[in-house]
């Protein structure tokens, strides 16, 4: 018999995130074992981030495009296609009206009565009218001469979960390949899913215990409640009612795991943002955030 000893430290994948800030641009470089595998760039003066949610007014519907143009405060109106309305738009519209007028104070949808879903392939002018109030989320940032792409199918992304109001569906990332783990996660999440909300289980949820998953859900419910509370205070349109977390935290939320060995930043403010975010998701990893001053 031949015994071969393999030092486990050489099998571990090391990940590092390099964040470089200069003028109005921030670069995010993800390294795995010293090799660049992903590069992101953010222009800091872009005031419309994917995930931002607004209470807005329909400016006009365009039957030829089967879409509506929505004023969200950008120089170019946002674009809302019929297929991005989401089947639960009537229920969402009812909820907005009830909350804004004080008729409904239950932000958690426990007693909410749903309206009928819209048709899958209907016409925009039969659903939306000029000056109608809508809740919309940025799904694509404005570029060049185009305004932001919008959706009324609202979702809130957390560390392990994506929360979807007015849904009862539980789905799971296809990147989790182990069938037993998929079944375990689905069973767990179905047992803690709040009524009135659907959930998507993200890739980084793999291997997590029920306490971590539930804590993530509770944090997302708090964001939904904060959004709903703002609906009662709207005095002008458009109004942003929920901001996506800053870009640094957003990238960490999507890629961070225990294999990270270093996060190197050349901006003290961004360093603070990252440490604050890690405090909420992985406090034991705060020490890997280093300020690069050369």
Average pLDDT over residues 150-178: 94
Average pLDDT over residues 43-58: 79
pTM attached to this predicted model: 0.77
Q: Residue 246 has what pLDDT?
A: 67
Q: What is the pLDDT of residues 134-163, one digit of tens each?
A: 999 999 988 878 899 999 999 999 889 999
Mean pLDDT of the residues in the chain: 87
**Of the ranges 117-126, 139-148, 270-279, which is most confident?**
117-126
Residue 288: pLDDT over 90: yes
Average pLDDT over residues 29-38: 91
Q: Residue 2 has what pLDDT?
A: 47
Average pLDDT over residues 114-120: 94
For a pLDDT cut of 90, what percent of the chain falls above it?
Answer: 57
Residue 249: pLDDT over 80: no
Nearest of 241, 220, 222, 176 to residue 202 by alpha carbon? 176
* Lowest-confidence pick of 87-91, 121-125, 201-205, 229-233: 229-233
Residue 20: pLDDT over 80: yes
């Amino acid at each position: 018999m031949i015994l071969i000893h393999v030092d486990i430290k050489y099998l571990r994948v090391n990940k590092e995130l390099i964040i470089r800030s200069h003028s109005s641009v921030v670069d995010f470089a993800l390294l795995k074992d010293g090799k660049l595998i992903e590069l992101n760039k953010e222009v800091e003066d872009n005031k419309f981030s994917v995930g931002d949610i607004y209470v807005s007014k329909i400016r006009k519907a365009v039957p030829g495009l089967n879409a509506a143009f929505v004023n969200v405060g950008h120089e170019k109106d946002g674009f809302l296609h019929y297929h991005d309305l989401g089947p639960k738009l009537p229920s969402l519209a009812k909820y907005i009206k009830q909350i804004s007028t004080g008729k409904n104070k239950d932000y958690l949808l426990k007693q909410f009565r749903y309206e009928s879903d819209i048709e899958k392939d209907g016409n925009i002018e039969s659903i939306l009218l000029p000056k109608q109030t809508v809740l919309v989320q940025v799904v694509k940032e404005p570029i060049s001469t185009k305004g932001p792409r919008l959706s009324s199918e609202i979702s809130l992304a957390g560390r392990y979960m994506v929360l979807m109001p007015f849904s009862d569906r539980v789905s799971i990332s296809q990147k989790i390949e182990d069938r037993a783990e998929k079944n375990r996660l689905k069973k767990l999440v179905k047992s803690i899913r709040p009524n009135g909300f659907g959930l998507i289980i993200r890739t980084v949820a793999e291997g997590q215990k029920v306490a971590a998953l539930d804590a993530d859900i509770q944090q997302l419910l708090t964001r939904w409640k904060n959004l709903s509370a703002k609906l009662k205070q709207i005095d002008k349109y458009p109004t942003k009612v929920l901001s996506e977390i800053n870009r640094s935290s957003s990238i960490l939320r999507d890629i961070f795991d225990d294999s990270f060995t270093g996060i190197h930043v050349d901006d003290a403010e961004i360093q603070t943002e990252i440490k604050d975010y890690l405090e909420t998701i992985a406090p034991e990893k705060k020490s890997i955030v280093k300020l690069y001053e050369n």
